[in-house]
Copies of this chain bind each other. A is one copy, B any other.
Amino acid sequence: MPTSASSAPSSPTAAAAPAAAPRGASAGVTEPPGIDAWRSFLTAHARITRRLDDELQAAHGLSLAEYDALLQVATTPGRRIRMNVLAERVILSRSGITRLVDRLEAQGCLERIACETDARGQEALLTPIGLERLRAAARTHLEGVHRYFLDRLDEAELAALDASLGRVASPLADGRTTHEGCPPAAS
């Protein structure tokens, strides 16, 4: 899912949007107000993450997902984490995590160890190489996050963003099944 912007056409008010989709439209579909925010959200995400991923890849041979996984391991007490938990944090399926850890293990950044308290479990353990790799990559990554995101917003905006998006994300915590615990609207 590449995830661009746009959701449905509306009023013929082609306004800002410097180089992307038309903000107004013309098909046989109607759209709600506020949808512009949704589009900006999608567009911003697609553009920024692509940029960050490219830069990280070019400078350190690490994808954003790999970086994130290393970070999650590094910031967990003991620098090891159940595959399980890692999957949820990085927002990947369990099989996705298996393969991602495979890759990082092959590069020497992570090690797999058996979980002491659960014989089914595996833990990913950060190696010194992995930590060094993460440290180096963090510089590049944070620089990018600043350049493309943080530096363009003032403190109030960042706080507002955090509040709004945090509120929007929290009810969707798990996501295993398609939509169970969430009443469609008011029913």
Contact = CB atoms under 8 A, between A and B. Distances in A.
A92 interface: yes
Interface in A38-80: 38, 40-51, 53-55, 58, 63-65, 68, 71-72, 74-77, 79
Interface string A129-141: 0010011001001
Contact of A3 (B55, B64, B143, B145): B64
A92 B159 CA distance: 31
A95 interface: no
B71 A175 contact: no
Contact of A150 (B34, B162, B169, B171): B34
A128 B24 CA distance: 21
Number of chain A interface residues as a range: 35 or more
- Where chain A touches its partner, the secondary structure class is helix
Assembly of this chain: how many copies?
2
Identify the interface centre among A4, A17, A51: most chain B CB within 10 Å of its CB.
A4
A155 interface: yes
Interface of A: 1-9, 16-22, 25-29, 31-32, 34-38, 40-51, 53-55, 58, 63-65, 68, 71-72, 74-77, 79, 88-92, 96, 131, 134-135, 138, 141-143, 145-153, 155, 157-162, 164-175, 178-179, 182, 184-185
